[in-house]
Structure 1
C-alpha cells in the first residue's frame, strides 16, 4: 500500500481562459501534473493540423486535460451527498479525467492510421507501466493504477463513473467543445455548461440531466454538430492531414526499401519495426516530428522533399467534393492519367471521408453501443432525450458523411504532359 492522498496545505490554481481557474486541492493530482509523462502533453497540440486553418488553435492536450479534470471536479461537487454517488470514487474520477488523453502522440490520429497504433493502448501502458505516473498512482494502492485505466477503457464496473468521462455528455466533450471554440475563434462550440452542471444528477448507471435543463442540453448537442463540420472536418485541415499522412507513408516505404536518408528517421524506427517501446514512444512529440519534416525538405527523394515542403510552407492540396458515381465511373481513369502525367496518384490523389453522428439513441448489439442522454422527469422517471426534444429527435441517428478528393493543383499547371493534365482538370471540374 502507498501512503495515500493528502489535502494540500494551500490550494493550487491554474489560470485558464475557458474555466477562469482550475482548482487543485489533492496532493495526488498536483503530483500527477508534475510527472514527465503529463508534462509531455504540453508538446502535443489538441487539434493536430488545425492550426494551419485557424491560426489560434495552438492549445495543447495539457490544456485540455486540466480542463476535463476541472469539469469532473465540479460535477463531483454537485453529486456530493446525493443517492448513487459514492464519495470513495472521487479521486478515481479525478485521476481518470486528468489522465484520459495521456497516451496521445504527435498529430495523433494521422499517426494512428499510418502506423496502426492506438492512443488508448499507450494510455493504458503509461498508467500501468514503469512510469512516474504509475508511481504516483500507486500511493493509493497497487490496484489503483489499473482501476484508473479501467475507467478510461470503459471496463470499470461502476457505469456511473465511466459515463462521467465517456458518454454522449461527459467532462471530456464539455471541455473540448468550449476550448476548441475559444482557441479557433468560432462561435459554434459555446453552450451553457453552468446550467448543465447544476441540473446533472447521478443514477446507478449514468449521469442524467433534470428535465428543466433540456434546452441547455439541446444547445450542447447542436454545438457539437456545428463544431464537427465547421472546425474538426474543415477541408483545409483535412488537406494538411492528408499531406502529413502521406509524408509518414513515404518515409516508411523508403525505409523499407533501404533508402539512404540524409536525416535518418531514428525516432520512427520502432514504429517501422513494430518494436516501439514505451520509453521511445514518450520521446515523440510534435516538436520532434516537425524537426524531421524540416530536415526532410532537403532529401534526394523528390516525393518526400515535396510533401515536406508543402506541409512546412502550407502549400496544401486543393479539394473537390464528389459522390459515389464519380468513384465508380472516373476514379480509374483519373489514376491512370496521373501516372501518365508522372504525378504519383499514391501520394497526390487522395480520397478522404469525414463522418459524424451528432447524437444517437441506444442501439443494442451494435459494435459501439452509445448510451443515450436521459432526462430526469418531475415524476422521478427517466426519458431518453430525443423522445422529449424535437430538436434532438430531428438529428438523432442521422450520420452525415462528406467525400472529398484532394490533389495538388499547382502540378497540373507545370509544363509537360499537357494533354493528360487538361483531361485531369476536365474530370475534376465535372465533380
Structure 2
C-alpha cells in the first residue's frame, strides 16, 4: 500500500553541520517529523550531562535522529538500489525506523532510566504502537506498518538486513552519533571516513557487509568509537555530573516515600516514584521540566536535596580519585564511609564509586552470552571473512573489555570549618594515598 500523497511536490531540506543537507522527499517522513512526539526530541539532549564538560554538546536527539535517517536514505537510495539481496519495497520501513529509533528517550536518558528502572526502547515501541500522532501517520501505510517499524527497532523483524542497517556493529546510528558528537564537543577523535564506508557497503541476505578494499576505513571507524567512549562519553567530569543527577533523583524519591512535604511538589515525578509510568506521563517529561524542578529544589528545606540541586545547576561537581575494587581499596572505602559519617557527611550521597566499561569490537563466540553480530568483509572471490581475521589492528582489541572505576566526593565539604581537623586530615590521607 502506498502512502497517501507519496512524494512531496518539492523536496524539503534541513541544513546540517555533519551531513551538510538532510533531504526529505517522502511525505510520510515529513509528516512524522511534524508529530509532537518527534518534536519532543528537540528537548532531549543527545549527550545528557556532557554539556557540563564540553560546552558545545547542546545538540539534541532530534538532530541525531534526522542524521541517522539521512545516512540510511543515502545507503538505500544511492548504494543499494538495484543490487542483489536488497528488496526496495522495504525502503520506507527502513527510513521510518531510522527516523524513529530514539523516539522513547527520556530526559538525561541513561541516568534517568537507571534510577527509575525504565527502558527507552520499550517507550519507543509504545509511542509507535499506541494512540499517538506517530502511530496515526504510520497507519496510513497499513494497519500492520507500525508493528513492522517497532519490530525493526526491537531487532525482531524477519528481514535481518533491514535490522542491521540501524542496529549492528557498523550501523547508521553509530556512524551518525560518532561524527555528530565529535563535531559538537569539538574533538577530533570521532571523525572517520564515512563516505568511504558507505561506498563499500554491500547488502547480503542477513546483514550489511563491507568490501575488503574498505577495511582500513572500518578500522578507523572502530578506533574512533573506542576513543570517543574514553575521551568523551566516559569523561570523568561528565560522570561526576551524572553521579549528582542520579543522587538528586534518588533523594527526591526517598523523600517522597518518607512523606516529606515538598515546597515545589514533584507532580511530574509522582508516577515515576511509585513505578507506574504510563505513556502520557512519560511524554510530558523533557529536560526543561527536570531542570525546572532542580532550580526550584534549591530552596527546599531538605539540606541534601537543596545542596545537590545547587551543585548540578551551578556546576559545582564532585572531585574524583582513581579507584580499584580490590580488597585493600574496599577496606579504605569502608574506612572513608565511617569517617564521612563522623564528619556529618552522608556517604550515601557524597561518597560514590562509579564504573564505566566498553567493548569496542567483538564477535559471537559459541557458549558465551550476548548477541554480537560480527562485521564481515566481502573478499574479491565472493567469500565473507570476519573482520578481525583480516585486520591485525581489530584482532588486537577484539573481545578486550576495558573498565574504569572512580571514587567521587565533594572536596569543598572537606574544607568546611565544622568538620574536625583530625577527621579531615585522615580523610585526605586516604583519598590522596
Q: Report the TM-score, using the length of structure 1 for normalisation.
A: 0.98
Partners of 1:161 and 1:425 in 2: how far apart?
Answer: 55
Indicate the residue corresponding to 1:315 in structure 2. Answer: 316
Partners of 2:120 and 2:366 in 1: how far apart?
Answer: 26
* Deviation, structure 1 residue 424: 1.0
Indicate the residue corresponding to 2:423 in structure 1. Answer: 420
* Deviation, structure 1 residue 411: 0.2
Indicate the residue corresponding to 1:74 in structure 2. Answer: 74
* Deviation, structure 1 residue 420: 1.8
Indicate the residue corresponding to 2:286 in structure 1. Answer: 285
Query: CA RMSD for the aligned pairs?
Result: 1.0
* Deviation, structure 1 residue 3: 5.1
Indicate the residue corresponding to 2:409 in structure 1. Answer: 407
1:240-284 per-position Cα deviation (integer Å, ceiling 9, x unaligned): 000000000000000000101000010000101122211111010
Indicate the residue corresponding to 2:371 in structure 1. Answer: 369
Indicate the residue corresponding to 1:165 in structure 2. Answer: 166
- Secondary structure at 2:263's aligned position in 1? coil
Say whether the 8 Å CA contact 1:4–1:141 is kept in structure 2: no
Partners of 2:101 and 2:150 in 1: how far apart?
Answer: 8
Q: Which runs of 5+ in 1 are unaligned?
A: none
Output aligned runs, 1:15-414, within 5 Å: 15-77=15-77, 78-325=79-326, 326-414=328-416
Say whether the 8 Å CA contact 1:297–1:308 is kept in structure 2: yes
Partners of 2:396 and 2:5 in 1: how far apart?
Answer: 47
Partners of 1:45 and 1:5 in 2: how far apart?
Answer: 33
Partners of 2:5 and 2:365 in 1: how far apart?
Answer: 40
- Secondary structure at 1:428's aligned position in 2? helix
Partners of 2:155 and 2:203 in 1: how far apart?
Answer: 17
Partners of 2:174 and 2:286 in 1: how far apart?
Answer: 23
- Secondary structure at 2:8's aligned position in 1? strand
Partners of 2:97 and 2:125 in 1: how far apart?
Answer: 11
Partners of 1:261 and 1:395 in 2: how far apart?
Answer: 50
- Secondary structure at 2:380's aligned position in 1? coil
Say whether the 8 Å CA contact 1:322–1:403 is kept in structure 2: yes
Partners of 1:290 and 1:313 in 2: how far apart?
Answer: 12
Partners of 2:92 and 2:217 in 1: how far apart?
Answer: 28
Say whether the 8 Å CA contact 1:340–1:417 is kept in structure 2: no
Say whether the 8 Å CA contact 2:81–2:88 is kept in structure 1: yes
Partners of 2:245 and 2:2 in 1: how far apart?
Answer: 44
- Secondary structure at 2:301's aligned position in 1? coil
Say whether the 8 Å CA contact 2:3–2:28 is kept in structure 1: no
Partners of 1:421 and 1:5 in 2: how far apart?
Answer: 71
Q: Which runs of 5+ in 2 are unaligned?
A: none
Partners of 1:344 and 1:151 in 2: how far apart?
Answer: 46
* Deviation, structure 1 residue 176: 0.1
Say whether the 8 Å CA contact 1:188–1:223 is kept in structure 2: yes
Say whether the 8 Å CA contact 2:364–2:371 is kept in structure 1: yes
Tell me the matched-pair count: 430
Partners of 2:423 and 2:387 in 1: how far apart?
Answer: 54
* Deviation, structure 1 residue 417: 2.4
* Deviation, structure 1 residue 2: 8.3
Q: Report the TM-score, using the length of structure 2 for normalisation.
A: 0.98
Partners of 1:210 and 1:356 in 2: how far apart?
Answer: 27
